[in-house]
A and B are shown apart, each in its own frame.
Chain A
């Protein structure tokens, strides 16, 4: 029997096990929507903006480990989803984006709602396809899912012209894919793995530096075995949070610009850095030339381009983290002898000293303004037994959540790392909630970033996605204000947002629940009420506006030179005292 392109698309999605797609209709995709409307296997979450659709698909993908799917129309639909594609590309999120295109006969004619979707998405997708013939559609969709989910995952765009979605052909779904230019390496080179094992046995001060690759390759079990067997401390990147249990005694927490003191000191003074599924991003390395100056570097990554892109690597291993770690563990199991705890004691004594010298701190006065860190800490303690999924936007609140919300398992952490997309958190949380209707899904947001995709509250209410949003409301673009205080002498250029909107009323206007915690003593009760509510909830928490996020490595600084508290000049300025203009003061004014 012959099927239309639209029906073929839906059959292909079903064959790939897709249960939910995030979509917004338009002229050239009406046929596809018409067909979606007449079937029951795939749920359509109607978003209010295509960027939301893209981020929801990302949240779905990060929480499930499977490809997320979004569907948008041509022209503005496509340009709106670009931010999400770029975000997914930076953070290696498996995504299949279906975009509508004007009919093949009109392509290139500046037709209504036409855009060069292939040209627009080329630099922000792993691959993209324009389907010019309905006979190629099924193979293309198969290849799109294959490319998105294998190797280093990433977003793939399939551009379907209107006439292709309406044309008919025989449907057969290909059972296998073969692309001659695409053969990701999964098994690591055995000789290199042996070299790595030997280096680990010799090292006195080794450190595991693990990233999002561990999450995507589901290598947490292998990582835990490696760390426990060898008693090597674990630093996680922002994307790697959850790959290793945050409360585990071997965890030093997050490293990098706002990482913990011990995590950054450990990597700086280490003699062997074992990077697993991480890419030496500038927010981790700081000044590249002085990153881990005393260490040999082992780098395990499925993407060969990540290796030696930013820093010199002594033992490169191209392969899937899970496969390589398994092999490495096997060798180590046979070689590890003696008590590793005793062997590592001098290193751990040093690490514990660093941990005790500068733990993460904040001061919460019982009757003072609410500190943002306190909100995250209470949220963590009140919800950790429910194994929640946590999304964040981008900024101070994101860093505080990364520091204080100690995730125990992978696929619970939805955040925008590489691209740093404000407005990511709420739709990503909705995508995860759509995949797991019964789980607790939290979104920690800032008052600035939540406004970037607030419109999706309508979709959350209508599609019954009971995400709990906690807004750390400091009336500022907080991270911008922090940089202005540290590097621009406190001139708050375009960072003050004032007190509008009233987020409680806004939530209610959408048909969601709005709550507010204005005093420290109310916080727990309000958070508990939010968690117990079976509807989307916005919890507005006005916080102390001038709280800064520490530790902080200024951009381009060295990892062992962290700012741990407000510099004296800033403290004086905040206290209202005029600058003395002394040389001592000048020394404390930082340069970005």
Chain B
């Protein structure tokens, strides 16, 4: 089963290779991995999409936690989460296809971010199904190049029980 694991790590050199080395050394899958600094620049956030049965995912989470540069590990599948992925798609466009390419982009609320006489570069964001769908539609026109970011994901805020009042935030 697919799991999305959110990993907070120290933002310093060599951390990515420790995480990647853990996956390759123990034969775990990485379907995608994205990483960037957090609000606190001393930390980075990784979103790792992986797959395996319950036992394997438990090991992945434990092994990640064991890495000294890993600060926090959350298996997002344990709660509700939202995830997004962006793709940049460079499409061949002959004169007669240009309008069709724009129509498809429009349907998926994608943006054309670059254009040349023979290509459009389309930016699309969504869940993997949406990305698959637009790629399938654009394929007959001729996709010259396709880049995907891999998924990023964030847990949905837990719905508070009615009795507990949210804390008031003091304002200056």
- B60-118 residues at the A interface, CB under 8 angstroms: 62-63, 65-71
Q: Does A127 contact B (CB under 8 A)?
A: yes
Nearest CB of chain A from residue B57's CB, rounded to whole Å: 11
Q: Does B136 contact A (CB under 8 A)?
A: no
Q: Does B132 contact A (CB under 8 A)?
A: no
Q: Does B149 contact A (CB under 8 A)?
A: no
* A352 / chain B contacts, CB cutoff of 8 Å: none
Q: Does A122 contact B (CB under 8 A)?
A: yes
B59→A123 contact, CB < 8 A: no
Interface string of B47-67 (1 = CB under 8 A from A): 000000001001100110111
* A123 / chain B contacts, CB cutoff of 8 Å: 21, 25
* B65 / chain A contacts, CB cutoff of 8 Å: 304
A122→B66 contact, CB < 8 A: no
A304→B68 contact, CB < 8 A: no
B69→A181 contact, CB < 8 A: yes
Nearest CB of chain B from residue A135's CB, rounded to whole Å: 16
- A113-153 residues at the B interface, CB under 8 angstroms: 118-119, 122-123, 126-127, 130, 147
Q: Does B165 contact A (CB under 8 A)?
A: no
Q: Does A112 contact B (CB under 8 A)?
A: no
A122, A126, A179, A182: the one within 8 Å of B21 (CB): A122
Nearest CB of chain A from residue B71's CB, rounded to whole Å: 5
Known A-B contacts A122-B17, A309-B59; A180 and B66 likewise in contact (beta carbons under 8 Å): no
- State how many residues of chain B have any CB contact under 8 Å with chain A: 19
B68→A305 contact, CB < 8 A: no
* A37 / chain B contacts, CB cutoff of 8 Å: none
Q: Does B41 contact A (CB under 8 A)?
A: no
B58→A308 contact, CB < 8 A: yes
Interface string of A153-191 (1 = CB under 8 A from B): 000000000000000000000000001111000000000
Q: Does B123 contact A (CB under 8 A)?
A: no
Chain B residue nearest to A303 (CB atoms) is B66
* A303 / chain B contacts, CB cutoff of 8 Å: 66
Q: How far is the CA of A397 from the CA of B55 in the complex (A)?
A: 37
Interface residues of B: mostly helix, strand, loop or mixed? Answer: helix
* B67 / chain A contacts, CB cutoff of 8 Å: 181
Chain B residue nearest to A126 (CB atoms) is B68
* A181 / chain B contacts, CB cutoff of 8 Å: 9-10, 67-71
Q: How far is the CA of A119 from the CA of B24 in the complex (A)?
A: 14
B10→A305 contact, CB < 8 A: no
Q: How far is the CA of A61 from the CA of B21 in the complex (A)?
A: 28
- State how many residues of chain A have any CB contact under 8 Å with chain B: 17
Q: Does B3 contact A (CB under 8 A)?
A: no
Chain B residue nearest to A129 (CB atoms) is B14
Interface string of A306-350 (1 = CB under 8 A from B): 001100000000000000000000000000000000000000000
Q: How far is the CA of A463 from the CA of B62 in the complex (A)?
A: 44
B21→A305 contact, CB < 8 A: no
Chain A residue nearest to B24 (CB atoms) is A123
Known A-B contacts A118-B14, A119-B17; A305 and B71 likewise in contact (beta carbons under 8 Å): no
Known A-B contacts A305-B59, A305-B63, A308-B58; A182 and B18 likewise in contact (beta carbons under 8 Å): no
Nearest CB of chain A from residue B91's CB, rounded to whole Å: 40
* A130 / chain B contacts, CB cutoff of 8 Å: 14
A118, A119, A179: the one within 8 Å of B68 (CB): A179
Q: How far is the CA of A119 from the CA of B18 in the complex (A)?
A: 9
Interface string of B10-46 (1 = CB under 8 A from A): 1000100110010001000000000000000000000
* B55 / chain A contacts, CB cutoff of 8 Å: 308
- A278-324 residues at the B interface, CB under 8 angstroms: 303-305, 308-309
A305→B62 contact, CB < 8 A: yes
Nearest CB of chain B from residue A121's CB, rounded to whole Å: 11
A147→B68 contact, CB < 8 A: yes
Q: How far is the CA of A119 from the CA of B69 in the complex (A)?
A: 15
Nearest CB of chain A from residue B96's CB, rounded to whole Å: 52
Q: How far is the CA of A180 from the CA of B70 in the complex (A)?
A: 9
Chain B residue nearest to A118 (CB atoms) is B14
Q: How far is the CA of A179 from the CA of B70 in the complex (A)?
A: 10
Interface string of B124-149 (1 = CB under 8 A from A): 00000000000000000000000000
Q: How far is the CA of A126 from the CA of B71 in the complex (A)?
A: 16
Q: How far is the CA of A304 from the CA of B62 in the complex (A)?
A: 7
Chain B residue nearest to A180 (CB atoms) is B71
Q: How far is the CA of A147 from the CA of B67 in the complex (A)?
A: 11
Q: How far is the CA of A119 from the CA of B21 in the complex (A)?
A: 10
* B71 / chain A contacts, CB cutoff of 8 Å: 180-181
* B9 / chain A contacts, CB cutoff of 8 Å: 181
* A122 / chain B contacts, CB cutoff of 8 Å: 14, 17-18, 21
Q: How far is the CA of A303 from the CA of B59 in the complex (A)?
A: 12
Q: How far is the CA of A127 from the CA of B15 in the complex (A)?
A: 11
* B59 / chain A contacts, CB cutoff of 8 Å: 305, 308-309
Nearest CB of chain A from residue B148's CB, rounded to whole Å: 28
* B17 / chain A contacts, CB cutoff of 8 Å: 119, 122
Nearest CB of chain A from residue B23's CB, rounded to whole Å: 12
- A376-407 residues at the B interface, CB under 8 angstroms: none
Q: How far is the CA of A303 from the CA of B14 in the complex (A)?
A: 23
Q: How far is the CA of A422 from the CA of B55 in the complex (A)?
A: 33
Q: How far is the CA of A293 from the CA of B74 in the complex (A)?
A: 33
Nearest CB of chain B from residue A160's CB, rounded to whole Å: 16
Q: How far is the CA of A274 from the CA of B65 in the complex (A)?
A: 25
Nearest CB of chain A from residue B36's CB, rounded to whole Å: 18
Nearest CB of chain A from residue B25's CB, rounded to whole Å: 5
Q: How far is the CA of A130 from the CA of B62 in the complex (A)?
A: 26
* B70 / chain A contacts, CB cutoff of 8 Å: 181
Q: How far is the CA of A127 from the CA of B18 in the complex (A)?
A: 10
Q: How far is the CA of A118 from the CA of B18 in the complex (A)?
A: 10
* A182 / chain B contacts, CB cutoff of 8 Å: 68
* A126 / chain B contacts, CB cutoff of 8 Å: 68
* A304 / chain B contacts, CB cutoff of 8 Å: 62, 65-66
Q: How far is the CA of A303 from the CA of B71 in the complex (A)?
A: 16
Known A-B contacts A122-B18, A181-B10, A305-B63; A127 and B58 likewise in contact (beta carbons under 8 Å): no
B66→A305 contact, CB < 8 A: yes
Q: How far is the CA of A127 from the CA of B14 in the complex (A)?
A: 11
Interface string of A431-456 (1 = CB under 8 A from B): 00000000000000000000000000
20 residue pairs A–B, Cβ–Cβ below 8 Å: A119-B17, A122-B14, A122-B17, A122-B18, A122-B21, A123-B21, A126-B68, A147-B68, A179-B68, A181-B9, A181-B10, A181-B68, A181-B69, A181-B71, A182-B68, A304-B62, A304-B65, A308-B58, A308-B59, A309-B59
- Give 17 A-B pairs besides A304-B65, A305-B66 with Cβ atoms closer than 8 angstroms: A118-B14, A122-B17, A123-B21, A123-B25, A130-B14, A180-B71, A181-B9, A181-B10, A181-B68, A181-B69, A181-B70, A181-B71, A182-B68, A303-B66, A305-B59, A308-B59, A309-B59
Closest CB pairs A-B (n = 8): A305-B62, A181-B71, A182-B68, A127-B68, A304-B62, A181-B70, A123-B25, A181-B68
